[in-house]
Amino acid sequence: MMKVAVVGAGVMGSGIALCSIQAGYPTVLFDVNEAAIARGLKYIKEQLEIAVTKGKCSRENADNSLGLLSSTPDRSTLIADFIIEAVLEQLPIKKELFQFLETINSQDTIFATNTSSIPITQIGGSLKHPERLVGVHFFNPAHIMKLVEVIKGVATDPIIAEKAFNWSQSLGKKTVYAADAPGFIVNRVARHYYVESLKALEENVAPLEQIDRLLESSGFKMGPFKLMDLIGVDTNFSVTSSMYQQFHQDPKFRPNRIQQQKVDAGHHGRKTKQGFYKYEE
C-alpha cells in the first residue's frame, strides 16, 4: 500500500490527511510546530466523530482510519511514496522544502504541491528532477469539497500526473486537469468573488453582512466574507497577493487594504475565532 506524507498540519493539510486515511492509505502528518500537529490530530478525530454521528462512517471504519495515521515534527523522517505539501503560499518555502525532500527520498517518490496560485513550473524549477513534481490542489474543507485540480508543470512527467490524478480519484474526488497558469481554474475565476466584494465594502456600498446575504440569496452557498473566514483570511490574502504579482500587478487582482488590516491584526477567520465575523469557542 502506498505510503502518503502530508506536510503542514493546518486545516487544509489535516483535511488532506483525513481524506487519505479514509481511503486506506497509511499517512503521516508533519509540521515543524508540535502544537499545530496536536490541533491537526484533534481536528481529524473530531471530523471522524462527526461522520460517525451522522451515519456517514461506521465506528469500525473510523477506528481503522485512525490506525493508519501517524505524525512527526522531524522532517528528516519524511520518506514516503507520495508526499503532498500544504504549507504557506510562499515560493521560497515550497522550493526549499522540495529540494530537501528530494535528497532523502527515492527516485520513485511523487512530490505534490497543494499551492492555490503559484505555477508548478516555478516551484519545480530548482529541483534536480522537476518531472516528479505535480500540482494537486484541494479545496477547503478538503474532506468535504469534492473538486481537486491536478496541474502539470512544463517538466512534469505525464505518468506522474496520471498517478496523482488516480490517487485523487481513489479518495472519491471529482478530479480535473488544469493548465499551469496563475490561480489555475477555480482561484482565477473565484478571485473576483472576493476582490469585488471587498471593493464594495471599501467603497461603503453595503455592510459585509448585507453583501453576504445578497450573494447567498443569489444562489451562492456561502457569502464571500463567511467563505474567507472559513478558508482563512490570511490564506485568501496570500493567494490574492500571489496572483496580483503573477499577473504583473493587473489592477483587477489588487489585494485589498481591509483584508490586509485583518491579517495584520491576526484576525484570520474561524481558526483564530475572529475574522470578518466573531466566532465562539
CA distances from residue 213 to 197, 207, 208, 217, 225 in whole angstroms, order as listed: 12, 10, 9, 6, 10
Amino acid sitting at position 246? Q
CA distances from residue 227 to 61, 109, 122, 233, 271 in whole angstroms, order as listed: 30, 34, 28, 9, 13
User: Out of 187, 236, 238, 241, which one is annotated catalytic?
Assistant: 187
Residue 131 a catalytic site member? no
C-alpha grid cell for residue 179? 493548465
**For the chain, what's the residue count?**
281
Residue 137 a catalytic site member? yes
User: Out of 149, 168, 242, 256, which one is annotated catalytic?
Assistant: 149
Residue 149 a catalytic site member? yes
Residue 187 a catalytic site member? yes
User: Out of 71, 105, 114, 116, which one is annotated catalytic?
Assistant: 116
User: Out of 20, 85, 89, 137, which one is annotated catalytic?
Assistant: 137
Instruction: Give the 3-state secondary structure of 45-112.
Output: HHHHHHHHHCCCCCHHHHHHHHHCEEEECCHHHCCCCEEEECCCCCHHHHHHHHHHHHHHCCCCCEEE
Catalytic positions are 116, 137, 149, 187
